[in-house]
């Protein structure tokens, strides 16, 4: 049993923290104010990170997650899922919106890593991929997807509307969920890589949002959009036995990543509020019992305990993925805990600092806005609760609705 940051990732973590502190954080307020402006500084950073990753055995970004280790595992593994989570925590200590806008680190990349075959993995290795699941008429209920994909020779023809596509206008490609046959339900839902500029694919609007303004959120329309058949990720067969499991596997890898974002963001709020509270006279002395501490200090300690629980749950889910253990429940537990934690902690830390925390001179108010999305995308709090409860109670989605 050893629940510390493994030695082999310490350099990576420290590097990611340097990037967050010295590159992302100084841009935070700029791109919070300039919603929809392209953070051009990230291109250079992405190139730098690509260079670093090329030389490192374990990569930094989302694409590293989802690589399930190949061959016979000998002993305990700490691999791409764990390193990605650790790096994402640090980067999001810098800025969540900017991380989500990092070229080639999109959630679509995690999806490709999770379900693509070897040929596809190589072909899309340097592609920045966004993820398009949600539609105007379906959010959490992704089985109700209406976007259709119809086979026509060497192509699939896509028709439908997608909304809430993170980095959808900026990414090189979008991973689109579409159904091959609506009458066959979940089993017929497949994911397709649609490259930017494919005729029939149009970005129709960019959302104005509560937070993560540095990250663009696009609506994309597909009208007779022809996608090469080789861009269907995974198997084209409709396996009603396996059902939805294929595309849902993506979530087992991406949910811990979103949980890691929440952990990093919450840490930023904890660190900043602590600095300000110390200036105001709080001593943060663990030699004294909790009951006699100042209220602000005691609250802060409680937030930090919540934070650590979320952090460990996240690392557990990633560790299980690295060690090829089924982790759907644990991924949902991590996401649920981190999502509720980050809201409570960022709003709470803001309040501990008072009026100063509410003003735009501090980033605390921005972090409290950014936090909310982390309890929503990749499955809301309530969706995670449903998944966890179904697993615990042994219920199907028809029984526990």
69 near other proteins, judged by CB under 8 A? no
Question: Closest Cα partner for 99 from 7, 160, 24?
Answer: 24
Integer angstrom CA distances of residue 374 from 118, 284, 328, 367? 31, 29, 18, 11
75 binds other proteins (CB under 8 A): yes
Asked if 8 interacts with other proteins (CB under 8 A), we say yes
Interface characters, 331-350, with other proteins (x: CB under 8 A): --x--xx-------------
| 324 contributes a contact to other proteins by CB under 8 A | no
Least distance to other proteins from the beta carbon of 232, Å?
34
Q: How far is the CB of 328 from other proteins (least distance, A)?
A: 13
Decide if 4 is catalytic: no
End-to-end CA distance of the chain: 38
| Residues linked to residue 131 through DSSP beta bridges, in sequence order | 175
CA distances from 304 to 64, 95, 239 (A): 28, 19, 45
Element of type H or E holding 178: strand 173-179
Q: Which of these is catalytic: 58, 90, 306, 378? A: 378
What is the DSSP code (8-state) at residue 242? T
- What are the start-end ranges of the H helices in 56-123? 80-94, 96-100, 107-115, 118-123
Taking the least distance from each CB to other proteins, the nearer of 221 and 381 is 381
Number of residues that bind other proteins (CB under 8 A): 51
CA gap 330, 261 in Å, rounded: 16
| Segment near other proteins (CB under 8 A); pick from 15-23, 27-35, 127-135, 306-314 | 306-314
Nearer residue to other proteins within complex by CB, 310 or 363: 310
Instruction: Report the residue from 14, 236, 305, 356 that binds other proteins according to the rule CB under 8 A.
Output: 305
For residues 345 and 269, is the Cβ–Cβ distance under 8 A?
A: yes
> From CA 335, how far away is CA 329, in angstroms rounded?
10
Which residue, 184 or 389, is less far from other proteins as judged by CB? 389
Residue 174 or 310: the one with the smaller Cβ distance to other proteins is 310
Among positions 319, 327, 366, 368, the unique one binding other proteins when judged by CB under 8 A: 319
DSSP-derived secondary structure for 278-347:
HHTT----TTS-GGGS-HHHHHHHHHHHHHHHHHHHHHHHHHHHHTT---HHHHHHHHHHHHHHHHHHHH
Binding segment for other proteins among 54-62, 115-123, 225-233, 288-296 (CB under 8 A)?
288-296
Interaction of residue 295 with other proteins, rule CB under 8 A: no
289 binds other proteins (CB under 8 A): yes
4 touches other proteins (CB under 8 A): yes
Q: Using CB under 8 A, pick the residue from 237, 283, 309, 356 that binds other proteins.
A: 309
221 is an interface residue for other proteins by CB under 8 A: no
d(CA 282, CA 275): 9
Q: In whole angstroms, what is the distance from residue 24 CA to residue 213 CA?
A: 14
Catalytic residues: 378
Which chain residues interact with other proteins by CB under 8 A? 1-8, 75-78, 82, 286-292, 301-302, 304-306, 308-310, 312-313, 315-316, 319, 330, 333, 336-337, 382, 384-386, 388-390, 392-395, 399-401
């Amino acid at each position: 049993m050893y629940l510390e940051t493994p030695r082999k990732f310490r350099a990576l973590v420290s590097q990611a923290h340097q990037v967050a502190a010295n590159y992302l954080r100084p841009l935070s307020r700029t791109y919070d104010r300039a919603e929809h402006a392209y953070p051009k500084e990230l291109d250079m950073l992405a190139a730098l990170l690509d260079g670093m990753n090329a030389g490192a055995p374990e990569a930094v970004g989302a694409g590293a997650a989802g690589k399930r280790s190949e061959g016979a595992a000998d002993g305990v593994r700490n691999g791409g899922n764990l390193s990605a989570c650790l790096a994402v925590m640090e980067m999001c200590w810098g800025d969540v919106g900017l991380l989500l806008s990092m070229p080639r680190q999109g959630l679509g990349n995690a999806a490709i890593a999770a379900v693509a075959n070897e040929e596809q993995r190589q072909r899309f290795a340097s592609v920045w991929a966004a993820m398009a699941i949600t539609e105007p008429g379906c959010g959490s209920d992704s089985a109700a997807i209406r976007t259709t994909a119809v086979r026509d020779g060497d192509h699939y023809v896509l028709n439908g509307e997608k909304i809430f596509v993170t980095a959808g206008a900026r990414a090189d490609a979008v991973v689109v969920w579409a159904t091959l046959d609506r009458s066959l339900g979940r089993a017929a839902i497949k994911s397709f890589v649609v490259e930017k500029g494919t005729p029939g694919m149009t970005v129709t609007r960019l959302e104005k949002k509560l937070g993560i303004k540095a990250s663009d959120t696009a609506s994309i329309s597909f009208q007779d959009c022809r996608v090469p058949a080789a861009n269907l990720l995974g198997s084209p067969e409709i396996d009603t036995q396996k059902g939805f499991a294929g595309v849902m596997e993506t979530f087992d890898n991406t949910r811990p990543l979103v949980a890691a974002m929440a952990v990093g963001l919450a840490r930023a709020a904890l660190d900043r509020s602590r600095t300000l509270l110390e200036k105001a006279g709080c001593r943060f002395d663990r030699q004294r019992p909790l009951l006699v501490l100042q209220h602000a200090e005691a609250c802060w300690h409680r937030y930090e305990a919540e934070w650590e629980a979320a952090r460990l749950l996240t690392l557990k889910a990633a560790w299980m993925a690295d060690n090829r253990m089924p982790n759907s429940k644990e991924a949902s537990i991590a996401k649920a805990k981190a999502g509720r934690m980050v809201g409570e902690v960022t709003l709470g830390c803001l309040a501990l600092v008072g009026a100063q925390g509410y003003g735009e001179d501090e980033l605390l108010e921005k972090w409290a806005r950014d936090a909310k999305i982390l309890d929503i995308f990749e499955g809301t709090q309530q969706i995670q609760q449903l998944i966890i409860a179904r697993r615990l109670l042994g219920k199907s989605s028809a029984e526990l609705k």
